[in-house]
Structure formats: structure tokens, C-alpha cells
Chain A
Amino acid sequence: MKEIQTSKLLDDIKKAGLATLYPEDRIRITVGMATCGLATGADVAYKYLCEKVKNSDYRISVVPVGCIGFCQREPLVEILIPKLPRIAFANVNKDKIKKIFENLSENRISSISADWRYDEDDFIIFNKKRELCNGALPDEIKSVKLYNEIPFFKKQLKIALRNCGYINPEDIGEYIARGGYYSLCKALTEMSPKEVIKEIKKSSLRGRGGAGFPTGTKWEICRNVKGDVKYLICNADEGDPGAYMDRSILEGDPHSVIEGFLIGAYAIGATEGHIYVRTEYPLAIERFNKAIKKAEEHGLLGENIFGKGFNFKINVSEGAGAFVCGEETSLIASIEGRPPEPTLRPPFPAESGLWGKPTNINNVETWANIPVIIARGGDWFAKIGTEKSKGTKVFSLVGKIENTGLIEVPMGIKLEEILEIGGGIPEGGTFKAIQTGGPSGGCIPQKLINLPVDYEKLAEAGSIMGSGGMIVMDERTCMVDIAKYFLEFLKDESCGKCTSCRDGLHEMYEIVKRITEGRGIDGDIELLENLGNVVQVASMCGLGQTAANPVLSTIKYFREEYEAHIKEKCCPALVCKELISYVINPELCSGCTVCAKNCPNEAITGEAKEIHKINQKKCTKCGICISVCPPKFKAIKIVSPAVT
């Protein structure tokens, strides 16, 4: 393999990469094969496609790509026929593939029911668009909706996710074809390290891991600290439950992180980088390792990169399932093999980090933004977003929402617009709250739906930006139960170093637990608030300082729900097990016996064609009866307070 030493060689690879991205002599079929896709059957679809291609008369290449973000509609398959728009098929299964192949010929596809099409592709690094179709569109393709007519994609602007779902993550050529490593080349050959930092500072990029510290300033501090060896760390310990953008980037576009890393290393003067990935992301680890190997083969990692005497290597460290390791000092301890308990700052990692050397830590999404900023300039980036929060942010829109998936939107977008992207609440539910920032964040209620999303506004509302998880909740979500859920999570994940966090969270959990079990007493809410404040001020690291947010914010906005649990022993959302009962409505029950047959605890009795009854003593409230009761009867309902 030839090492890339000049931009000329980069151009050669780009040309080859474009030929595989937009082949002229064959059809290109891509399958979204990130973990989310695989879980919904993308591997089955991929194998079946390969089989079909083998028996096909046409020249077709089947390519696995990352996740395009629309996870709700996976598996996603896209077909690019030369000179035609690329068309996308959602929820693909074997039957659908069979049908596609029946209608596919060498240069056209007829009578299709595609979900959307792309007439052009955005090359954000080059600030160029590439027209896909050549000449007039055939009618059957014209009838397919355009990509940006789909509500889910309409308001999105993809910077960090620019390549996810477009390129084969294991093919460095396709990454280079879309502008990859050009920014590195630019930084190394045209810019001094100080200019790189200046550009990043100009962009006002803030850390995407949660706290939002300005990246350029962080780099500058680390650069100015004296030291012979400096380290970079990529924090891919995406512990926030409900957020998975880092996983998606590592699985779909690992080279963007490597390139960001390299640019950062050049700016700061580091020679070695570590990426710390959660063990729960096996595919991400595999793809990233492959990407490192490819980059090394091409001379983009290693010694004398671009012939500029700049050396850099990357090591992969794997986590082992501890939430606190996302905190920078415990992450460093974990890499070193020490017990991953946070340590006091200062000294900050920029002064004394990994192995006591100056260390700069940024998370995956931050690193992925870097190449675009270098290519397009800090000023361009700073034009996007709000006054204090620039650029775009990736959110994982999940929970009780129609279109779940990853979205990348400009900062300052209103929550309402995000809900529009999500397509509203499924099954006719009504929106109640949105939880942001994971266990460190809070719940934002319906009345703040006009809130623009940026670091400051979210903090004002009692939540945080966090790594970007957005969990939508409807009226069937119990806020006390959510508080209990987060407390359980946090008390388990607390490392135990600070008493306030270790014991305070445990006590708060016990109080919330007794409230959800109907044993709450007057004064519990005030006690929770008190304890929460103590945990906030008396804990050392970010985990403890923010651990009370979920409780405090739900109390702030949903106090009446807590009161209903305590005073009336009633769970308005019908979630808390001890406070609800499943009952059969005698007027609707037709005696079909389905529920009785499916009940795992034989709690339902009744003869065929007679009204059934649930024995409350035997019922474990598993909810199976309600899911099997035929929709035409809907005879089972949940009531609260519980009946005996």
C-alpha cells in the first residue's frame, strides 16, 4: 500500500473512492448495518441481497454502510442506478427485496414503492453538491418523495453525521472521496498548530459530551502546558442511557474521529491518542480497530504523516460497564488500570492527566466535527446555531415518539420542531415531557415546548444538554417512576467515594421507591428536595453534582403527580405496579378466553362466552392480558388506586 504523502495522492484515492461511491458500470445497493439495523434484520436482508445479486444478470455491488439515523424504519436499503436518483426503501424484508429485484433492470427500476429519493448528495467538506440524475426523471421515480420532503429529514443539517449511512465504514477510499483527510492535509501543510487552534476557537465549538466546555480553549490550555509527552483521549464511553450518537459515528464513520484526532494532535502537540470505548459497543470497537489499521496502511497514522515529521498513534481501550468512567478523571484511572474513581480537579487533565502527563479529552461527536471546521473555517461554523451555542448537535430522539432515530439539527431549534421531526406521539398519546441529558439531566414539561435547545436554555430549565439523548414521554409515563429509575441507575453507578452521593442517592431512592409503592408520607417531597440539594453541593464529580437533577426537575414540574402518589395512593400514568390493578370491564368482555389462556399465573378465570374475572391476589401485573385482549373488545383496563 502506498503511503499518502501529498494531496496529489489523496486525489488519486478520492477518484477511486468516487468510482465505488457512484459507480458508472454497475448498480450500488447499500444496507444500513449498524447495531440498530442488525437488530431489526439488516444482516438477513444483506445475505439475501447477496444471494439475489449472485443470481442476477446485472452487475450489482452490495455494500454495508452505517446508520442514516432513521432507525424506526430499519432495515434501510438504498439503490443507486447510474444516472438516476438514489432511492431508499425502508422496513425491508425478504418479500420486499424479492419485489425490488423483479422490477430492477440494468438501468431502471419500475413500479416501485420506494420511501424517498435523493436527487443530489451534499459534500459538506467541499461545499459542493453532486447531482445524481442525468436528464429527465422517469415518472415512476418522480412520484417518490424527495429526501428533504420527508419531515424526519427536513430540518436536519448533517455535520458530525455527514457520512453515516452513505459510505462503507470499512472503505477508507469512500471516506476520502467525500472529503476525508483533506482537512488533515490542509492543517498539516498550510496551517501552524496555533492557526488550527485559532480556527477552532473561532468556531466556538463546545464539547459535545455534556458540559459544553469550549473546545478551542481546552486545546490551547493543553498546548501551553509544558511537557515532553502529551496525550489525547477520545471519550467513547457513551454511558447516558438513551443516547447512541457516538456509537453510530464509530460504526458508520470511524475515520472522521481519527481525522479529528490527528488534527487535534497536531494542534496540541500530542503523539499518542487513546480511545476509550464502552464494552457494550462490540461492533463499534471492531469497526474502529479496522479503521485504524486502514489509516496506518495508508500512512495516515504512524510516523512522518504527510511527510511533515508529525507522528501519531492511536490505542483502543475497552471499558467494562461502569457509568462513572465517562467522567474524565475516572476514565483516565480506568485506562491506567486503577480503580475508576474520580479524583479532585485541579489538577485538570490538561495539566496532569494520563500517566501524569498533559492530556486533552474530547468526546466522539466533538472530534467528528473538527475536520469540517478546518475545511470550511470557523466563521462558517459559527454562523450556525445560537449566540453561545454554535453549530449542530446530534440528538437521539427516542421513547414515546413515532419516528425514533438520530437527528442532527442546528442549535437553537425549538423542542416543538424536534417533536415535529419525530412525527408526534404514537398510538394517539399526548406529549407530556422530554428528558434530556441522561441521568444527569432533567425532564422538560409540555409547557416549555417553545424552548430553544442550547446549553444555556436547557440549564435554565433545570436540565442539561448532556450527550444528546432525548427521551420523549407521554401521559402513560409516570414521572415518579422515571425519577426512581434514574436514582436506581445512579445509586448503582455511584463509585462510592463521596458520602453524599453514595448514601444520599441511596436514601433518595428508598424514599422515591416507597412513594411509588404507596407508602409515601407527608413531607417526603420536601425531604427529597433537601437531600437533592445536599447531594448537589457536596459531591466531587459531575455524576454526583448532577445526580439530583432528575428528581428535582420532576418535582419542580410534576409535583402534583408526586402528591397523587402520596396522598391518594394513585399513579395517574397507570405505571407504578403497587398502585394499579388490571380489571376486566364486564360490559366489553365477550368471554373469548384469550386472556385466561395467556395469563402466566392463572389469575384469570371464567368459562367460554362468559365474563372473565381477574383474581387480584394472583395477578402479578405483567400486562400480558391487556396485550393479548383482541382490539375489537379492549375489555381489560388499568385502574388506579389499586382495587382488592
Chain B
Amino acid sequence: MNMGHNGQKVGAALVIGGGIGGIQSALDLADSGFKVYLLEKGPSIGGVMAQLDKTFPTNDCSMCILAPKLVSVARHPNITIITNAEIKKLSGEAGNFVATVRKEPRYIDEDKCTGCGLCMQNCPVRQIAYLDKEEEKIELDSEDRIKIEEILREYQTKKGNLMPVLQRINATYNYLPADLLRYIASELDIPLSQVYNIATFYNAFSLVPKGRHTIAICRGTACHVRGSLRIQERIEQKLGISDGGTTEDLRFTIQTVRCIGCCSIAPAVRVDEDTYGNVKTNQVFDILRKYK
């Protein structure tokens, strides 16, 4: 910053770090009339606050505070954001600094990129960046290994094999054990994040062990109109668990499903493979009693 002829400071300021503190400083400085360079080491600004749900002590939504500021920073005519960059050298004195900045290459035309994320989804070699296979070898016990090898043998070479593999594991173990997910991620050459993305997207998959019997309470429209909510509440009350929960003795898991296609005999409940139609609230225990 140079001293102007009338003693006023003019010129540019460098803010190091693009977290909420850096963002606010940059905005305040820029609004005061300075040209601001906002330097951030990571590929994007936002910092830790962008990863938080709520802020202390007011419990305000973190993103709701941060997001408008992110937009303001990006739009501000007096702020230039330099990401993927680190400061190498700083010399000079107050009012007259020289900063040397090293910017990592991005290999993308930033003027044209809209941040749609499609390149990331479609990059064929992206897993190499994430996973060092030698270090990530997952040890399985022999029984698991035999089961999983058999599943993998069937699908390893097929396109679109992640879904069927997960389905088979889910059918074999009744849930998706975490170490197996890591194992197949490495064997199938799919990023673990993608495996989890799929594993958590679908209702049919569970990441925690399920009971021996799954009570699927149909919550389709026809069942709803005919009172399936009452049945769900009754089962939940009796077993002491709620939707998605498993009893402590691992006997039952309750899982509501979106229509099992038995609308004509609504309300319907399916326990394992058996479907029951026209279920009445006070009948549910006679049904459950059959399953030990």
C-alpha cells in the first residue's frame, strides 16, 4: 500500500486465507475502496465454515450466513480471488509490500468453466488420484473373502457392476458391512466415495446390521388411505423401535416401503417373503408371532 500524496493510503491489499475471516476482511476492505487480492491455498474459498451445519452459539444455519458472502466476494469488482495458490515470499514494509505468489495449475479454462461437475463424474482415471492400492489393502477373514470373491468373479468384468455387487452383498449379509465396501471399492477400481454415494442413496441398502426378519410396511397411497399409518404406529409401539430401527435381539427390523404393488388388498405388510393383505391393527401381533 502506498501513501498517497495527501497522506491517504491507496492501492491494493492482500488477504491470505479464504475462510470466513478472510472473506469478511476482503469484503470490508473492498467496500472501503481498496483493491483486494484474496489468496486461498485450496481450490475454493469458504474454508471450514462451509463444512459446518450450525454455528455456535446461536445455532444459525452456517451456509445461510456464508453463502451470500461467497457470492458477494465473487461478484465484487474490487476483489480478485486467487485460489490453488500459496505465498512464496513477502518483502517490503507497511504501505509497500511485494508478495510473490505461486499458483498451482488447474488445467481448466476458468473463464469458461461453470462448475457443473460433469468432468469429475466422467473422468476415467480419477480414482488413481485418490487411492494408493498397495496401502489400502483391506484384510478380510477367510469366510468373507470366499463369499465376496464369488460375487466379484461373477461381475468383475461387467459394465455397471456396482449395483448388482451391492445387491448381492446386501442379500448375503442383510446389510452392507463397511470393510466389504472398502474392499470392493479397491477391487472394482471405484472411488469409495462413489460406493458410499450409491450405498446410501437407495432405501433397500442398510449400513448397519438388520434383524433376522424385515417387516416391510407398505406406505403406498392405497395403503395410506386404508389406514397403514395406524398399523405402522402399532408395530412401532409394540416393538419399541421406529421406522428403520432394529430390535435389540436382532429379531425384527421395521422398514416402510413405497408400495409393494398389493394395492388391491391394502393395507399390506410384508414380512421377509410373505405378504399379508387387508391387515387390521389388532391382527399385527398374530402375524409377527410366526417369526422367531
Contact = CB atoms under 8 A, between A and B. Distances in A.
A13 to B, nearest CB: 31
Contacts of B177: none
Contact of B264 (A404, A489, A598, A627): A404
Given A318-B164, A320-B203, A624 B282 contact: yes
B203 A71 contact: no
A493 interface: yes
B202 A398 contact: no
Contact of A469 (B204, B221, B237): B221
B273 interface: yes
A609 B11 CA distance: 94
Interface stretch (A186-194, A276-284, A520-528): A276-284
A335 B52 CA distance: 33
B204 A39 contact: no
B203 A322 contact: yes
Interface in A196-248: 238-244, 247-248
B229 to A, nearest CB: 9
A438 interface: yes
A600 B261 contact: no
B167 A320 contact: yes
Interface stretch (B32-40, B130-138, B155-163): B155-163
A347 interface: no
B230 A241 contact: no
Nearest to A332: B160
Contacts of A489: 219, 258
A317 interface: yes
A471 B282 CA distance: 25
User: Can you list the 6 inter-chain pairs with the closest CB atoms, starting with the nearest?
Assistant: A71-B264, A241-B220, A244-B261, A321-B203, A320-B202, A337-B162
22 contacts: A40-B277, A240-B259, A242-B220, A244-B262, A279-B204, A317-B164, A322-B201, A336-B160, A337-B162, A339-B194, A396-B264, A398-B221, A399-B226, A404-B263, A435-B221, A469-B222, A473-B225, A482-B221, A489-B219, A600-B238, A620-B233, A623-B230
A335 B160 contact: yes
B282 A280 contact: no
Nearest to B222: A398
A596 interface: no
B260 A35 contact: yes
Interface string A279-297: 1111000000000000000
A358 interface: no
B257 to A, nearest CB: 6
B175 to A, nearest CB: 13
Interface residues of B, number: 52
A469 B263 contact: yes
A241 B268 CA distance: 12
A66 interface: no
Interface of B: 121, 159-164, 166-167, 170, 190, 194, 197-198, 201-205, 219-227, 230, 233-234, 237-238, 257-266, 268, 273, 275-278, 280-282
Contacts of A435: 221
Given A398-B266, A399-B226, A35 B261 contact: yes
A38 interface: yes
B265 to A, nearest CB: 6
Interface string A361-382: 0000000000000000000000
Given A71-B265, A469-B263, A337 B198 contact: yes
A312 B263 CA distance: 35
Nearest to B223: A241
A242 B263 contact: yes
B53 to A, nearest CB: 14
Contacts of B278: 40
Nearest to A282: B273
A243 B121 CA distance: 34
A318 B201 CA distance: 15
A157 interface: no
Interface in A323-359: 323, 334-340, 355
A153 interface: no
A241 B161 contact: no
Nearest to A239: B258
A485 B197 CA distance: 27
B281 A241 contact: no
Which of B167, B257, B258 is most buried by chain A, counting CB atoms within 10 A of its CB? B258
Contacts of A589: none
Contacts of A390: none
A35 B259 CA distance: 13
B259 A280 contact: yes
B225 A280 contact: no
A5 B259 CA distance: 42
Given A242-B221, A400-B226, A438-B221, A317 B262 contact: no
A473 B224 CA distance: 11
B225 A320 contact: no
Contacts of B197: 339
Contacts of A335: 160, 163
A399 B221 contact: yes
A243 B260 CA distance: 9
A477 interface: yes
B258 to A, nearest CB: 5
A280 B222 contact: no
A248 B260 CA distance: 12
Contacts of B190: 337
Given A485-B221, A622-B233, A336 B281 contact: no
Nearest to B255: A321
A320 B166 contact: yes
A247 B260 CA distance: 9
A79 interface: no
Contact of B262 (A36, A338, A339, A627): A36
Contact of B265 (A39, A243, A317): A39
Contacts of A620: 233, 237
Contacts of A317: 160, 163-164
Nearest to B167: A318
A412 interface: no
B221 A624 contact: no
Contact of B159 (A40, A355, A400, A623): A355
Interface in A602-616: none
A619 to B, nearest CB: 13
B202 A321 contact: yes
Given A280-B257, A627-B281, A243 B263 contact: yes
A627 B194 CA distance: 49
A477 B198 CA distance: 37
A216 to B, nearest CB: 29
A244 to B, nearest CB: 3
B121 A338 contact: yes
A627 B230 CA distance: 12
Which of A280, A335, A600 is most buried by chain B, counting CB atoms within 10 A of its CB? A280
A405 B276 CA distance: 16
Which of B223, B234, B264 is most buried by chain A, counting CB atoms within 10 A of its CB? B264
Contacts of B263: 241-244, 396, 398-399, 404, 469, 471
